[in-house]
Amino acid sequence: MSDERLTHLEARYVWLERHVREQDKAMAEMGEELRRLRREIDALRARWHTAESAGEGPETEEPPPPHY
């Protein structure tokens, strides 16, 4: 194998290693964001169910808007 080809392969290997590390970091960040959003959704659902059971839901007796 020529030195030029070996150098090219080494450079490509280094680039691929860096690319994989960057993807791993991005995936970890997205996983954390997903966990945070799920916790937020769970909290909103709990608030909704609490308000709904306390009778604080939206009023259903409101007249329709004038454009109906």
> pTM to 2 decimals?
0.62
Look at residue 53 in the predicted model and tell me its pLDDT.
85
d(C-alpha 68, C-alpha 65), whole Å: 6
Mean pLDDT by 10 residues, the chain (68 residues): 92 98 98 98 94 72 78
